[in-house]
Amino acid sequence: MKRVVIKVGSHVLNEAGEVSKERMLALVELVAQVQKSGKDVIVVSSGAVSSGYSKLKLDKSLIRNKQALAAIGQPLLLKMYQDKFERFGMLCSQVLLSASDFDSRKRTKHAKAAIEVLLANKVVPIINENDVTATEELVFGDNDRLSAHTTYHFDADMLVILSDIDAYYDKDPREHSDARAFKRHSFIDQELLEQTCKPSSEFATGGIVTKLQSAQFLLKRDKSMFLASGFDLTDVKSFLLEGVQKGGTLFSV
Ligand code: ADP
């Protein structure tokens, strides 16, 4: 594996209405270790809305307010990332994209050209949806789909989704105590994909269904996806750094 996209959801970065410095530092440390092991790393990060909300308490049930909060929070979020990456002697960068950028070959090509320069210079691209002009992931998806497109179009081998859940289960583990985690999964049931998505908190949107959609998108294109906990990075570390899968779910053909 040469290039990996690591996506961190808003649940993971968010702690009591603010971006958790501790968790962001743990994520940045992981990125630094993966990069040191010789892989290119692209980060897709949520957290702009919660970052903005820590400064201005607007009603988040309104999309236009969420957009405004993202506009306030995005530079704050990046400043936090910059500070953390600096501790590891690394540079990071901001890349704001939307799904429609991937609809246009020309725009995808332009974005990829910039990403290649960043990666060649060991600069970590931090991608987020441009929430002021595109609201798709803000409403539904929490960057799950954006990260799948990022993986495919920027030639990564794998997408790693760091979530508030440590694996994909045969049923929702929060509602069923007997739910069993899948270690590997190679086929996504169409019925599951058509389920209505239940947002599981005021910050996150989409839940497990958008993750399955991303997995299906990538499986069809010969890419793989690894879903693991973003709270405890033990599983993702052993998977990415030692090539050993202890926990998490690997979606792969
Ligand atoms: P993120 O951490 O990326 O923001 P979400 O909270 O949006 O993730 O989605 C993950 C949630 O989906 C889990 O916390 C869990 O409650 C729910 N979920 C529903 N069905 C399943 C399942 N079969 N396996 C795992 N999680 C599931």
User: Ligand 1, from 147, 159, 165, 214: best to mutate by most atoms within 8 Å of Cβ?
Assistant: 165
Q: What is the CATH number of the domain that holds 111?
A: 3.40.1160.10
Tell me which residue of 153, 77, 189, 31 sits closest to 145, measured CA to CA.
153
Q: Could you tell which of 5, 161, 172 is best to mutate to test the pocket of ligand 1, judged by most ligand atoms within 8 Å of the CB?
A: 172
What's the 241 CA to ligand 1 centre distance in angstroms? 25
Task: Determine the residue of 143, 164, 185 to mutate for testing ligand 1's pocket, defined as the one with the most ligand atoms within 8 A of the Cβ atom.
Answer: 164
Beta carbons of 77 and 20 less than 8 angstroms apart: no
pLDDT at 204: 43
Cα-to-centroid distance, 24 and ligand 1 (Å)? 20
**Which DSSP string corresponds to 102-171?**
HH-HHHHHHHHHHHHHHHHTTPEEEEEE-TTT--HHHHTTTTHHHHHHHHHHTT-SEEEEEESSSSEESS
Q: Is 176 in the pocket of ligand 1 (CB under 6 A)?
A: no
Least confident of 36-45, 76-85, 110-119, 188-197: 188-197
By DSSP bridging, strand 249-251 and strand 184-185 are parallel
* DSSP H or E stretch at residue 16: none
> Structural domain of residue 89, as residue ranges?
3-251
pLDDT in tens, 192-206: 777 644 445 444 445
- Give the model confidence (pLDDT) of 201-222 as tens digits: 444 445 898 999 999 999 999 9
CB atoms within 10 A of CB 172: 13
| Mean pLDDT across 164-188 | 93
Distance 74 CA to ligand 1 centre (A): 24
How far the first Cα of the chain sits from its last, in Å, is 15
pLDDT computed for residue 2 by the predictor: 96
Into how many domains does the chain fold?
A: 1
Question: CA-CA distances (angstroms) from residue 184 to 180, 193, 249?
Answer: 12, 18, 5
Closest ligand 1 atom to residue 206 Cα is 7
* Beta strand 168-169 pairing with 181-182: antiparallel
pTM: 0.94
